[in-house]
Every structure is written in structure tokens, then in C-alpha cells.
Amino acid sequence: MEEMSILITNEAKRELDKLLENSDKTCIRILTRHITMTTEAKIDLELDEPNANDNCYDVDGYKIIINKVLDSQMNYITISYGGLLSRNAFCVEADFNFYY
């Protein structure tokens, strides 16, 4: 399996540390969410534990888990926090390999 390229910004690391410190979960799950029936899915994260259907990555000491099917569709992931469009929220961007 080719290694997934995952970047976590320093701002996101600070916020993830706060979340993990106050949680009984040890991993960060990358997943898709549908906001409504009429909107497109977005990539998001939540704290969770791995299962047999996941790939697990160690990124700068953070355990990132992704469902194997979703993982096979992505090339790169960037996890950030804050910024112009998401001042007090995480933003997960992914490059899907539709064109590769």
C-alpha cells in the first residue's frame, strides 16, 4: 500500500491536543459527512477508535484512521484550524485520485 501524505498544521495540532486531552478516544478519524440531502459531502474529522476496516497512520505522533475504501480514493490530506473561511473550526482538505 502506498503511504498516504497527511499534513497537520501547527494550529490544528494545538487544537487536536486540547480535544485529545479531554477525550477517552485516542485516534483522529477522517470521514465524509453529508450536511443535508441536497448538499455535497465534505471531508471532516472526529475522535474515534480504529476497527478492522481502517488504515492507521502515525503523523507527527497523532494516530489518523481512515476507512480503507475512503483511503483508497485519496492521495493527500491537509488538516488545518482557523483561517479566513473557518475561524474557529477544523478544515480537512483532500485530493481525490479521480484524475490519476
Q: Would you tell me how many other CB atoms lie within 10 Å of the CB of residue 27?
A: 17
Tens of pLDDT, residue by residue over 62-100, are: 999 999 999 988 889 999 998 776 678 999 998 877 654
DSSP letter at 82 equals -
Structural domains in the chain, sorted by start: 5-99 (2.60.300.12)
Based on the number of CB atoms within 10 Å of its own CB, is 22 exposed (0-12), middle (13-18) or buried (19 or more)? Answer: exposed
Residue 84 corresponds to which cell in the numbers above? 479566513
Tell me the pTM.
0.84
